[in-house]
Structure 1
Amino acid sequence: MIKALIFDFDGLVLDTETPEYQTWQSVYAEFGKTLTLENWGQIIGGTAASDFHPLTHLEELTGRSLADFGLESRVRDESMQMILAAKPRPGVLETLETAQRLGLRLAVASSSPHWWVDSHLQRLGIFHYFETVQCSEDVSRTKPEPELFLAAQTKLGVGTHEALVFEDSPNGVLAANRAGIRVVAIPNPVTQHLSFPPANLVLGEMSDLPLEQLLQKLS
């Protein structure tokens, strides 16, 4: 019986990944280069298994130092404008409300830092739904390693067989698999083009299947 839900944040609750990728794509295009999904996909959902960095990669492609162009701060500013205008992905609010009504325990497990995740959860008015928020500072290794999900599961006081993870990235699904926790994959507009490890269920959006039906399907 599923007693707890563990949510990723970036790309799953709020699509923060598409704005950043699109902004870096524009920057690459200005230098006559292309940022592929294969490269970008290495860091989506976790950085523990990758040393890819978009600015370093662009410098390698152009054969020059780009330190004086202020590209990283520009990407941060432009993508943040889009992120601040965004709302939670379809079905997120309804799922949280239903989970609360059903008495399920809720957590967030994100490879991002607390200042980022907590501030957005508060801004969106959904921080109060979660008993615990586990972020990069709380573990020694982020996704695709399982530590974040195991930490969240432990904090919620349930067994791995009693938890269910919602993820949008291959790194996140792999982390859930390694933790031995069932996982629903809900790719975002960027990650839908990537190859995913096996998931217990794949949805286009969280709104595609109401939570009570989803729980019945996975029970």
Structure 2
Amino acid sequence: MPTRALVFDFDGTLADTESAVLQSWQEVFREHGAELPLAAWYAVIGTQHTTPAMFALLAEHAPDIDPEALRPVTKARVYELLESLGPREGVREYLDAARDRHLKLAVASSSSGGWVLPHLERLGIAGYFDAVLTGDRHRAKPDPDLYLAALDALGADAGETIAFEDTPHGVTSAKAAGLTCVAVPNAITESLDFGQADIVLPSFTAKPLEALLSR
């Protein structure tokens, strides 16, 4: 069955926002005299539980913290770190190639629309996508709901759609929805287990979209 649609995760896949978010949390933990265990980060990466999990873990080291006071501080630091961030290398070439082939495109992200949509605009890639599905309107990954919603929005079948993900939780979500899934880990997730993925690429530049679709 020919490929008719592509669905991309956002954080860490289209842009390496996860590095900035992780750095921000590491800084917060160090300011409170602790180190953020990477195992705890990996346990929630790609889901909707990152912030609550980090505050809960931080409270073990600093019981008197006020999450509501810290929340805007950590958010501001993330945006500061993201000011010069562009799409991951090779992403724009993938999107251009997909548009040339008249493929339908969507974003499926566990993050909120308030996070994803402005970043897509800032990165200059919002116009490529026919639909953007986010975690404030659908159950977050690893639940398959976001991918099922993406298929519905695009009018595509799972068998003719490829998902692109950077975390095992995301791969689980895509596979549960019946999609072929290409894992493209980033520097933060490259050491994780992507055994569920159909294909693992070290980067978007490792294989052009045309070559991927011809497999």
Pick which of 11-20 and 21-30 moved more: 21-30
What displacement does 1:69 show?
Answer: 9.5
Letter paired with 1:55: F
Conserved 8 A contact 1:167-1:183:
yes
TM-score relative to the length of structure 2: 0.93
Conserved 8 A contact 2:48-2:135:
no
Corresponding residue for residue 16 of structure 1 = 17
Corresponding residue for residue 117 of structure 1 = 116
Corresponding residue for residue 173 of structure 1 = 171
Corresponding residue for residue 148 of structure 1 = 146
Partner Cα separation in structure 1 for residue 142 and residue 119 of structure 2: 23
Partner Cα separation in structure 1 for residue 95 and residue 86 of structure 2: 14
CA-to-aligned-CA distance 1:74-131 (integer Å, 9 cap, x gap) = 2211121111210000110000000000111100111111121111111122111111
Conserved 8 A contact 1:15-1:83:
no
Compute the RMSD of aligned alpha carbons: 1.8
What displacement does 1:67 show?
Answer: 1.3
Which residues of structure 1 form unaligned runs of 5+? none
What displacement does 1:27 show?
Answer: 2.0
1:2 counterpart = 2:25: no
Counterpart mapping for 1:60-209 below 5 A? 60-62=60-62, 64-67=63-66, 70-139=69-138, 141-209=139-207
The count of aligned residue pairs is 214
Corresponding residue for residue 56 of structure 2 = 56
1:46 counterpart = 2:47: yes
Identical aligned residues as a percent: 40
Corresponding residue for residue 211 of structure 1 = 209
What displacement does 1:52 show?
Answer: 5.1
CA-to-aligned-CA distance 1:50-84 (integer Å, 9 cap, x gap) = 8952122111134x211189433222111211112
What SS does structure 2 have at the residue aligned with 1:32? Answer: coil
What displacement does 1:39 show?
Answer: 0.6
CA-to-aligned-CA distance 1:132-177 (integer Å, 9 cap, x gap) = 11111332x1100001001101111111000000001111001011
Which residues of structure 2 form unaligned runs of 5+? none
What SS does structure 1 have at the residue aligned with 2:105? Answer: strand
What SS does structure 2 have at the residue aligned with 1:60? Answer: helix
Partner Cα separation in structure 1 for residue 56 and residue 157 of structure 2: 41
Conserved 8 A contact 1:55-1:72:
no
